[in-house]
Amino acid sequence: SLFRLKDLEVPKLGDCDVHVKMLAAPINPADINMIQGTYPLLSPLPAVGGNEGVGEVLEVGRHVTALKPGDWVIPADAGLGTWRTRGVFPEKMLLKVPSDIPVLCAATLSVNPCTAFRLLADFEVLVPGDSVIQNAANSGVGQAVIQIARASGIKTINVVRDRPDLLKLMERLMALGADHVVTEEMLRKPEMKDIFKSIPRPRLALNCVGGKSTVEMLRHLQPKGTMVTYGGMAKQPVMVPVSAFIFRDMQLRGFWMTQWRKDHAQDQESVAAMMDTLCQLIRRGQLTAPACTKVPLQDYRAALEASMKPFVSSKQILLL
């Protein structure tokens, strides 16, 4: 196994450092990809896993101004190594979050909800009544897209893979605010036309699967619509019929949250505005943590195994 639980000394607190007691950290697909070496970010080894989580500030160096003991913090960027009980980090690697939001919401805030927020904000100008279509709608990003769209009056068409407990999954997504939930197979059926009697065809498609799923979603996009790819769970290329380009002038774009953070490192206003909006949605109960299974750190092996199973509907969260 690539993993071991190790006791490390907590390093000395530098002037610009913050000593953090980690509270909770999820296991995301990208964390696993990073460890397998199939992700464009590689940590020098030995490394601590985990790119996301929430911690409480215990102590700050004498030049630290923005944080104080008792504050809650999340990583400002990927690669922090959140699967640990304590850490000493430079202040600039942390973002303060309000401590009046549920701990699981804070622990899962920096990757999926931020990704969902940017996907909905940055590619098409969407107004209330517009619609978006997305695949892997039960993923962490998918669940956040449903809720953020709902809060903005945007309709969602949510595509999921067929599975034994399909009806239960459909109910869960409808409860989050999904307008329509369909399987990959249903995308091909004539009944799809019925959906578009009540809502407009989507201007935006969100793809984290690739392969056949992509073609099927493109079919339902409005002319001049945009499809944004932010993941490739099928490990197959994005296939696009030539007609979609020529006769419908589709735009194909890509998105990587890590890159967005790099591009906006100097633009604290954009980051703060996004975090404020998301935290307000959480406080209003319009954005919840994804379905979670809490696992104590010592059971990390079981949590890693569970997170790699197919049709996972619950995110494994390490309690630290």
Would you name the residues annotated as active-site residues?
A: 39
Extract the tokens encoding 156: 């969602």
Beta bridge partners of residue 55, listed in sequence order = 22, 73
Catalogue the E-assigned strands of the chain: 17-26, 54-60, 72-75, 86-90, 94-97, 131-134, 155-160, 180-183, 204-207, 226-229, 251-254, 292-296, 315-319
Q: Among candidates 207, 259, 206, 260, which has minimal Cα distance to 233?
A: 207
Catalogue the E-assigned strands of 188-225: 204-207
**One-letter amino acid identity for 93?**
M
Kind and range of the H or E element at 279? helix 268-283
230 within 8 A of 119, measured Cβ to Cβ: yes
Radius of gyration over every alpha carbon of the chain, rounded to an integer in angstroms:
20
The position carrying tokens 């939930």 is 181
Distance CA 191, CA 8 (A): 59
Distance CA 157, CA 269 (A): 31
The position carrying tokens 């809060």 is 151
Q: State how far the alpha carbon of 36 is from the alpha carbons of 31, 33, 50, in Å.
A: 9, 5, 13
Spell out the residues 6+ positions from residue 122 whose beta carbon is closer than 8 angstroms to its own: 255
Q: How many CA atoms lie within 13 A of 198 on its CB side?
A: 9
